[in-house]
Structure 1
């Protein structure tokens, strides 16, 4: 089946904005509960290890969706996958609001993870296919999620600290945004051919968990992957234990302060994405590795000395490294493969990223019970910093020559 005619003019711009807002909403929803975790701990009396389980079930559900339906949009189109996921995301927000205990909190996180996992690769592919310029797609695929993580945490922190109904309002905002975008997508033309499946058996076979990258692009893909893993490993620490570090290590009992530490990391990452997007992606990844490791060195100093202001400064520097690494790596990933392989490539990418995001964070939650939060966070930071530097060195030594970089195929912008 031939690919749908690309949208043009205002309709194209509208679709690009809606897809970008979809990426923002998905990640904003994932960080919105973070400032509430200490509140839930006080209400229901669960441990740091249980807290990381709450975080982990979300990621495991997300991964399950990615490896089963992550490439579904390559067969049925981007729009039906994204709309369905947004409706499930809105439903998960209502479960959060109604949760009577930690068990239902986990149910809400599972639903949320399924929704985000189902939509992640479809949204990323739609952004690339709607991009008005050659660099705008990779920029939005980096900036929208990082901005969503930042504003989701900061906004929830503000609402929890100062607004009424602290365990309701932030979820209601996310649900309203998800439902609005689901309606808006009805008016966005499809950008991917709905090729379907040759048979029902093939459709069922497609749901067997898998994640792979076309053989012809694996060399360039594997070169960039360790850098993404270091960046997402850092994000996992902040998303799972960041608020608890502010509360326990630094003694700051304020939900806004807890949300702001996550917001600092990802706002700095968004700034990096917007300033680095047009530079050579391999060089951006190398610079990001150095900045990430430098920021973590400052964070470790703050943890050992108890200087909370230094902690925020180090977080900002590490966040700039996170954003640089992410935008550079996503620019490389977005240039790989054909259009009908793009959902598959993004699905495989996010599977690996979310493993790096979740498994170390789960281990840190368990380790915190035995070694304490400060020692665990310091050890985690050292490991991520070393991984970032090793990955950056690998990219530096194997960066393609300028002629090879120019020869890489970048998805063309959609012309009016």
Structure 2
């Protein structure tokens, strides 16, 4: 019999896995200009490379996202990590555009499946009476995006095999995490209805629907900025600022996502309404600075604006997650996280894809400037909606108490 990890250790492993999955997702971003040069494809094809990843991810969220509520967390997580390893293998062997596209499709399927089950797993394993699961759900993805972007940029610039080394490193880490899955406690016993859960549907728990609807404008404004940063930041640095160093491109992505992770951690003691409103306020300030930096072609101002906007992204997203996660029952958590990430990734992808098409007509610099200005307006609108009388969230100011892991799992009653 495989020995089971204690809940505190399992919580750390699951959080590390979520960060690693998102690190793998951001790793190709600093490399897009190098892929364009190596494979000779256009900016329009780059948009397709980005789009197929997100489409596959959304399909996985909609179709597979609720599956772990019925089959259990462990088997669905194991399948997601196997898919992720397969995608990393495809990146390692990619020597043309078609293989790159296939790698991104498989990676999208893996990421969509993994984020839903890992988000629910963290809520299951958090210590009774705390909101550490919500905190890690907010911090780990942004931290992972930061590490993946920075690692890929640095290795591409200074290590041999610039389009392959980062995927080798990630594959080793993912393989180690996959080996740890059988040791995780199972927190979602099998329930009937697994086939029915495969119907593509957004299943927001009834108790969370009102708060979810109020959160949509904030999700859209924050994640649409994330899509801009991860899809074209490297190209913007090259065309607008003359920066072609992959490490600098990775540093920009790392600064944006890393600031979000750090700000979320430092502000973790605030209530969900305060987090969301403060985060959106900071995001608006960062976006104003971002548009000013693009207009003035000021790299120092851009660096400051990216950090400020990233901090706003992280804290506002944590506020939304905290308000929502406390309103879901244990068997509803995977479905809720699927719904959150579906809306977020739609906002992440659709504007970026449209921007890629528009850039072919009016140029990348003008497109990005207009994109950033539009996101600033959206964030300001979301903030205004948050500040309206009576808009205070139903989310908790006191941590919700998650269900305990059944004794049959052999985990006891402890929590991390």
Q: Which residue of 2 aligns with 1:343?
A: 334
| CA distance in 2 between partners of 1:193 and 1:412 (Å) | 13
Say which of 143, 147, 151 aligns to 2:139.
143
8 Å CA contact 2:130, 2:400 repeated in 1: no
SS at match of 1:206: helix
8 Å CA contact 1:135, 1:277 repeated in 2: no
Say which of 148, 152, 158 aligns to 1:156.
152
Residues 1:71 and 2:66 aligned together: yes
TM-superposed CA distance for 1:211, in Å, is: 1.1
Residue pairs, 1:31-70, within 5 angstroms? 31-70=26-65
| CA distance in 2 between partners of 1:398 and 1:158 (Å) | 48
Q: Which residue of 1 aligns with 2:161?
A: 165
TM-superposed CA distance for 1:248, in Å, is: 0.9
Residues 1:115 and 2:106 aligned together: no
| CA distance in 2 between partners of 1:406 and 1:163 (Å) | 47
Q: Which residue of 2 aligns with 1:213?
A: 204
CA displacement 1:332-369 (0-9 Å, x = unmatched)? 12112211111111111111110000000001111111
8 Å CA contact 1:28, 1:153 repeated in 2: yes
| CA distance in 2 between partners of 1:152 and 1:261 (Å) | 12
Residues 1:246 and 2:246 aligned together: no
Residue pairs, 1:236-385, within 5 angstroms? 236-385=227-376
TM-superposed CA distance for 1:196, in Å, is: 3.6
CA displacement 1:109-162 (0-9 Å, x = unmatched)? 000000111111110010111113612111111111101000100001110000
Q: Which residue of 2 aligns with 1:17?
A: 12
8 Å CA contact 2:385, 2:391 repeated in 1: no
Q: Which residue of 2 aligns with 1:182?
A: 178
CA displacement 1:145-186 (0-9 Å, x = unmatched)? 101000100001110000111111100111111111111111
8 Å CA contact 1:90, 1:176 repeated in 2: no
Residue pairs, 1:214-233, within 5 angstroms? 214-233=205-224
Q: Which residue of 2 aligns with 1:4?
A: none
Label 1:404 to 1:281 Cα distance change in 2 as closer, same or farther (>3 A). closer
Q: Which residue of 1 aligns with 2:82?
A: 87
TM-superposed CA distance for 1:21, in Å, is: 0.9
Gaps of 5+ in 2: 405-412
8 Å CA contact 2:323, 2:395 repeated in 1: no
Moved over 6 A (4+): 400-404
Label 1:109 to 1:399 Cα distance change in 2 as closer, same or farther (>3 A). farther
- TM-score normalized by the length of structure 1: 0.93
TM-superposed CA distance for 1:212, in Å, is: 2.3
| CA distance in 2 between partners of 1:96 and 1:39 (Å) | 13
- TM-score normalized by the length of structure 2: 0.93
Q: Which residue of 2 aligns with 1:105?
A: 100
